[in-house]
Amino acid sequence: MQIVDAPKDANLIVIPDTHDIAAPQAVEWLKQKRVIALLGGEAWSTWLSWVETDAYEETFEHPDMVGERLPDSRLVITWPTPAAALTAQYRLESEPSDSDILTALDNTIEDIRPRTTESTDLRQ
């Protein structure tokens, strides 16, 4: 894993569970085949706020494939497929260690690597 200075240089973008990142920006990152990790108690509601936008609906074939919230999830990781952006959720302590976060990210990246290395044709 390498840390970069700007989101434009990253394949994985980790951000706090804030509504400060507008849905069009998040969808653009997904269109660029990036993985987004939302960290914090409002991660799922932030994710849903993105999914409920026109930008998301216009990008994916099946925008209604959202999944169900894992109670008490504090880390939501999302990655693009042609049909929808899929998610993995993790329950973490309210103040998770860097090691806990990195382990969850690493496990998810390893799980999705075979699916993301295939062609991901998102609607233009």
Q: Does some domain include residue 8?
A: no
Q: What is the pLDDT of residues 81-124, one digit of tens each?
A: 888 888 888 888 777 888 888 888 888 888 776 555 444 444 44
Q: Where in the sequence is the domain holding 66, given as residue range(s)?
A: 16-97+110-116
* Domain count within the chain: 1
Neighbours of 87 (CB within 10 A): 23
Biggest CA pair distance of the chain: 39
Q: What is the pLDDT of residues 37-49, one digit of tens each?
A: 999 888 888 988 8
**Among 121, 38, 30, which Cα is nearest to 79's?**
30
Q: Does some domain include residue 50?
A: yes
Q: Does some domain include residue 124?
A: no
